[in-house]
């Protein structure tokens, strides 16, 4: 605790803390500003402009699910950074894998990637026995190329199998093909114009708890979340990945919950604790048909509130956006 506060009675400290909390005081409660906000007309640019020179400086992600009012008084939500996750950029290629599988993630929609798969087969002189763009399958005498929509918007997943088993040589060749400058340049250019349909992640109440429903099978969901958590949950004393268990589809993290982050100064003084404490949380995935449920449960003695569960699950959803 600050040494300057040690000699003051608790009541006096609380009075000092409250002295500047009025609307016209030093600390202005901006929550009330939302009620008076007005929508302005959009800026109109000339049709003759060079569109390549214009882009969104501060893009706003689309919200998924319906509005959720947290317990207690309304509080303006903190903004979530758009760079919270390690996304695959347009035209780029990345590898995802589990103990039993390995595949590529390409930063383009399937409709853009499909012609490149056909080009790959042609350039290598593969004998094509079946080509079905609707099913995303190119079968050759050596291997099957499988294409489908990726978990993230504007991405695709590519697999290469032989008799149902991973063909690593084929997949490595595909990776080099999509990493080549000519392929990446054409994909990046076309992908910028390509819109994709994607099923939405949704949140559902289960009694006093919340779960997140992912419209993907459990292996794909686990692989992407494992990659994102390893690369994003590495902030000491804020959010850290403790362990990941593929067999049980389970993650353990240390996390400063929303209620801990937004704890008022007076509450901190009353508890004689001005620090923010991390909670150990288990994030577990379970299959539900072709979908996957994700739950957040406290490992330590203090349970997570419904609000804290929902906020943490929304952060997980942000990693997959």
Give 78-121 pLDDT, tens digit per residue. 444 444 455 666 768 888 888 778 999 988 889 888 998 999 99
- Domain C-terminal end among 163, 191, 219: 191
Examine the pLDDT at 147 and tell me if it is beyond 70. yes
Whole-prediction pTM:
0.61
Place of tokens 């993230």: 152
Is 165 in the same domain as 272? Answer: no
Is 319 in the same domain as 221? Answer: yes
pLDDT of residue 266: 45
Contact 218, 249 (CB under 8 A): yes
How far is the C-alpha of 130 from the C-alpha of 134, rounded, in Å?
Answer: 12
How many beta carbons lie within 10 A of that of residue 185, not counting itself? Answer: 11
Examine the pLDDT at 309 and tell me if it is beyond 60. yes
Strand partners, 128: 140
In a domain, 86, yes or no: no
pLDDT of residue 313: 93
Is 312 in the same domain as 236? Answer: yes
Q: Give residues with Cβ within 8 angstroms of 119, minimum separation 6.
A: 183
In a domain, 162, yes or no: yes
Is 183 in the same domain as 209? Answer: no
Is 165 in the same domain as 241? Answer: no
Is 179 in the same domain as 115? Answer: yes
Q: Give 268's Cβ-side CA count (13 Å radius).
A: 16
Is 182 in the same domain as 290? Answer: no
In a domain, 160, yes or no: yes
Examine the pLDDT at 254 and tell me if it is beyond 90. yes
Is 114 in the same domain as 147? Answer: yes
Q: Which of 65-74, 201-210, 260-269 has the lowest mean pLDDT?
A: 65-74
Q: What is the CATH number of the domain that holds 232?
A: 3.30.310.170
Average predicted confidence (pLDDT) for the chain:
77
Is 220 in the same domain as 309? Answer: yes
Q: Which of 33-37, 137-141, 165-169 has the lowest mean pLDDT?
A: 33-37
Q: Give residues with Cβ within 8 angstroms of 181, minimum separation 6.
A: none
DSSP state, residue 211: E
In a domain, 260, yes or no: yes
| Average of per-residue pLDDT across 19-27 | 51
Name the pLDDT band for 196 (thresholds 50, 70, 90).
very low
Is 172 in the same domain as 206? Answer: no
Is 137 in the same domain as 249? Answer: no
- Rank 47-51, 183-187, 228-232, 279-283 by mean pLDDT and report only the highest: 279-283
pLDDT of residue 258: 87
Tally of domains within the chain: 2
- Domain C-terminal end among 144, 174, 191: 191
Q: Which of 69-73, 161-165, 260-264 has the lowest mean pLDDT?
A: 69-73
- Domain that includes residue 254, residue range: 199-321
In a domain, 170, yes or no: yes
């Amino acid at each position: 605790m600050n040494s300057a506060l040690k000699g003051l009675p608790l009541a006096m400290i609380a009075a000092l803390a409250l002295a500047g909390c009025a609307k016209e005081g030093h600390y202005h409660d901006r929550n009330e500003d939302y009620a008076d906000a007005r929508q302005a007309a959009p800026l109109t640019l000339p049709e003759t402009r060079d569109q390549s020179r214009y882009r969104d400086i501060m893009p706003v992600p689309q919200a998924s699910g319906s509005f959720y009012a947290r317990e207690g008084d309304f509080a303006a939500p903190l903004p979530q950074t758009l760079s919270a996750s390690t996304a695959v950029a347009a035209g780029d290629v990345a590898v995802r894998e589990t103990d039993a599988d390995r595949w590529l993630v390409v930063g383009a929609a399937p409709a853009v990637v499909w012609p490149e798969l056909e080009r790959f087969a042609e350039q290598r002189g593969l004998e094509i026995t079946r080509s079905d763009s609707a099913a995303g399958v190119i079968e050759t005498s050596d291997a099957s190329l499988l294409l489908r929509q990726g978990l993230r918007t504007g991405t695709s997943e590519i697999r290469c199998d032989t008799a149902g088993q991973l063909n690593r040589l084929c997949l490595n060749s595909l990776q080099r093909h999509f990493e080549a400058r000519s392929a990446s340049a054409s994909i990046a250019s076309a992908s910028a114009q390509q819109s994709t349909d994607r099923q939405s992640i949704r949140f559902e109440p289960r009694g006093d708890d919340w779960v997140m429903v992912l419209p993907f099978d459990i292996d794909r969901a686990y692989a992407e979340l494992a990659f994102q958590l390893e690369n994003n949950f590495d902030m000491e004393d804020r959010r850290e990945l403790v362990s990941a268990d593929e067999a049980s589809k389970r993650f353990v993290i240390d996390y400063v919950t929303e209620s801990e982050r937004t704890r008022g100064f007076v509450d901190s003084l009353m508890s004689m604790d001005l620090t923010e404490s991390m909670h150990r949380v288990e994030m577990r995935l379970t299959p539900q048909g072709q979908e996957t449920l994700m739950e957040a449960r406290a490992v330590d003695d203090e349970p997570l509130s419904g609000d804290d569960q929902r906020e943490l699950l929304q952060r997980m959803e942000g990693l997959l956006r």
